[in-house]
Amino acid sequence: GQSLEQPSEVTAVEGAIVQINCTYQTSGFYGLSWYQQHDGGAPTFLSYNALDGLEETGRFSSFLSRSDSYGYLLLQELQMKDSASYFCAVRKAAGNKLTFGGGTRVLVKP
């Protein structure tokens, strides 16, 4: 089987930095993805890490350590529009399949 763990909720103020951790247990790991989903909306892709290290895309960065089965999403200079749910998802070796973590609800306050 496989499992992904991430915190259920994080609250922060505008301009702050938030780190969402994701630990996973799975066989045949290919990569770790992050998706953002606003209430009533569809998941949208943020990042994908297949190799160890940090990937930076604007205010968002994602990190992966394959040896620790751990990754995180870093949200910098938080804005009100960043209030959403953030899901980590594991891509496995067998086929095109993503398994999502339970999601972290981020609430940004003024």
Partner 1 sequence: DTEVTQTPKHLVMGMTNKKSLKCEQHMGHRAMYWYKQKAKKPPELMFVYSYEKLSINESVPSRFSPECPNSSLLNLHLHALQPEDSALYLCASSQAGGTGGIYEQFFGPGTRLTVL
Residues that bind partner 1 (CB under 8 A): 30-31, 33, 41-45, 48, 50, 87, 91, 95-103, 105
Q: Cβ closer to partner 1: 78 or 91?
A: 91
Closest distance between partner 1 and the C-beta of residue 21, in Å?
A: 16
When the beta carbons of 15 and 28 are compared against partner 1, the nearer one is 28
Within 13 Å, how many C-alpha atoms sit on residue 92's CB side?
15
Q: How far is the CB of 27 from partner 1 (least distance, A)?
A: 15
Closest approach, Cβ 16 to partner 1, in A, equals 24
Q: How far is the CB of 15 from partner 1 (least distance, A)?
A: 27
Local structure of 65: helix, strand or coil: strand
Cα 7 to Cα 4, 34, 96, distances in angstroms: 10, 14, 26
Structure tokens at 10: 């994080």
Q: Which two tokens stand for residue 103?
A: 């999601």
Q: Which residue is it, tokens 């604007």?
A: 58
User: What 8-state DSSP symbol labels residue 77?
Assistant: S
C-beta of 13 vs 107, nearer to partner 1 = 107
